[in-house]
Structure 1
Amino acid sequence: MPQTFSKFIPIAAPIPTTCVDYVHPWTDSCLQAICGLYLYCMLESLRIYGTVYMVTLLMKGKIPRKEDLRKTICGIVQSTAFLSGTGFGYSLFLCSLRRVLGNFNILTVSAIPAFLSSVFSILIERPSRRTMLCLYVSNVATETLWNMARARHLVRDIRYGDAAIYSASIAMLLYYFKKGYHKSSEHSDAMYRVIRFVVGPYEEYGSSDRSQEASRAFYRQVQNSPNDSSQSGSGTSTSTSTASGTSPWRSRKHKNSVLDLVNQMLRAYKRLIYKIKCCDRHSTCPHPFSCLYYVMQGAGKMFSVGLGLQVFLKLILNSKRILSSPANLKQVLFKKQTLNLAVFLGAFSGIFRGTMCTLRNLTGKDRASHAIPAGILAGIAYLRYPDTTVALYVMWKAAQISYNLGIEKGLLPKVPGFVEFLYCFSTAILFHAAILEPTNLRPSYWKFLHSISGGRIACMSRQPLEVWGLNTTESLKKVLEQTKTVPVVYF
Structure 2
Amino acid sequence: MAALSKSIPHNCYEIGHTWHPSCRVSFLQITWGALEESLRIYAPLYLIAAVLRKRKLEYYLYKLLPEILQSASFLTANGALYITFFCILRKILGKFYSWTPGFGAALPASYVAILIERKSRRGLLTIYMANLATETLFRMGVARGTITTLRNGEVLLFCITAAMYMFFFRCKDGLKGFTFSALRFIVGKEEIPTHSYSPETAYAKVEQKREKHKGTPRAMSIIALVRTLVDSVCKHGPRHRCCKHYEDNCISYCIKGFIRMFSVGYLIQCCLRIPSAFRHLFTEPSRLLSLFYNKENFQLGAFLGSFVSIYKGTSCFLRWIRNLDDELHAIVAGFLAGVSMMFYKSTTISMYLASKLVETMYFKGIEAGKVPYFPQADTIIYSISTAICFHAAVMEVQNLRPSYWKFLLRLTKGRFALMNRKALDVFGTGASREFHNFIPRLDPRYTVVTPELPIDFS
TM-score of the superposition, structure 1-length normalised? 0.84
Q: In the alignment, what sits opposite 1:135? A: 127
Q: In the alignment, what sits opposite 2:371? A: 412
Correspondence 1:250-399 to 2 at 5 A: 250-251=220-221, 263=222, 267-268=225-226, 270-289=228-247, 290-399=249-358
Q: In the alignment, what sits opposite 1:483? A: none
Give the distance between the partners of 1:314 and 1:271, measured in 2 at CA: 38
Q: Is the 8 A contact 1:49 1:79 kept in 2?
A: yes
Q: In the alignment, what sits opposite 2:189? A: 201
Q: 1:236 aligned to 200, 212, 215, which one?
A: 212
Give the distance between the partners of 1:441 and 1:74, measured in 2 at CA: 32
Give the distance between the partners of 1:205 and 1:70, measured in 2 at CA: 43
Q: 2:137 aligned to 137, 142, 145, which one?
A: 145
Identity level (%): 33
**Displacement, 1:278?**
2.9
Give secondary structure in 2 for the equivalent of 1:318: helix
Q: 2:99 aligned to 94, 97, 107, which one?
A: 107
Sort the Cα spacing of 1:408 and 1:323 in 2 relative to 1 into closer, same or farther, 3 A: same
Sort the Cα spacing of 1:387 and 1:279 in 2 relative to 1 into closer, same or farther, 3 A: same
Q: 2:109 aligned to 99, 103, 117, which one?
A: 117
Q: In the alignment, what sits opposite 1:38? A: 31
Q: Give 1:193's aligned amino acid.
A: S
Q: Give 2:189's aligned amino acid.
A: P
Q: In the alignment, what sits opposite 1:225? A: none
Q: In the alignment, what sits opposite 1:190? A: 178
Greater mean deviation of Cα atoms: 269-278 or 369-378: 269-278
Give the distance between the partners of 2:343 and 2:211, measured in 1 at CA: 43
Unaligned segments of structure 2, at least 5 residues = 439-458
Q: Give 2:212's aligned amino acid.
A: T
Unaligned segments of structure 1, at least 5 residues = 222-231, 242-246, 252-262, 480-491
Give the distance between the partners of 2:112 and 2:60, measured in 1 at CA: 28
Deviations 1:147-169 (A, max 9, x none): 11111111122111000001101
Give the distance between the partners of 2:150 and 2:372, measured in 1 at CA: 33
Q: Give 1:236's aligned amino acid.
A: K
1:448 aligns with 2:407: yes
1:169 aligns with 2:161: yes
Sort the Cα spacing of 1:320 and 1:85 in 2 relative to 1 into closer, same or farther, 3 A: closer
Q: Give 1:280's aligned amino acid.
A: P
Sort the Cα spacing of 1:212 and 1:43 in 2 relative to 1 into closer, same or farther, 3 A: same
Sort the Cα spacing of 1:110 and 1:325 in 2 relative to 1 into closer, same or farther, 3 A: closer
Q: In the alignment, what sits opposite 1:215? A: 202
Give the distance between the partners of 1:164 and 1:110, measured in 2 at CA: 32
Q: Is the 8 A contact 2:6 2:427 kept in 1?
A: no
Give secondary structure in 1 for the equivalent of 2:370: coil
Q: Is the 8 A contact 2:277 2:287 kept in 1?
A: no
Provide the aligned C-alpha RMSD in A.
2.2
Greater mean deviation of Cα atoms: 374-383 or 136-145: 136-145
TM-score of the superposition, structure 2-length normalised? 0.90
Q: 2:7 aligned to 3, 14, 23, which one?
A: 14
**Displacement, 1:188?**
2.4
Q: In the alignment, what sits opposite 2:447? A: none
Deviations 1:76-127 (A, max 9, x none): 0110111111112111111111112222211211102111011111111111
Deviations 1:229-254 (A, max 9, x none): xxx71313534x5xxxxx44445xxx
**Displacement, 1:351?**
0.6
Give the distance between the partners of 1:178 and 1:60, measured in 2 at CA: 28
Give secondary structure in 1 for the equivalent of 2:238: coil
Sort the Cα spacing of 1:39 and 1:335 in 2 relative to 1 into closer, same or farther, 3 A: closer
Greater mean deviation of Cα atoms: 337-346 or 385-394: 337-346
Give the distance between the partners of 1:211 and 1:341, measured in 2 at CA: 33
Q: Give 2:53's aligned amino acid.
A: K
Sort the Cα spacing of 1:281 and 1:442 in 2 relative to 1 into closer, same or farther, 3 A: same
Sort the Cα spacing of 1:314 and 1:83 in 2 relative to 1 into closer, same or farther, 3 A: closer
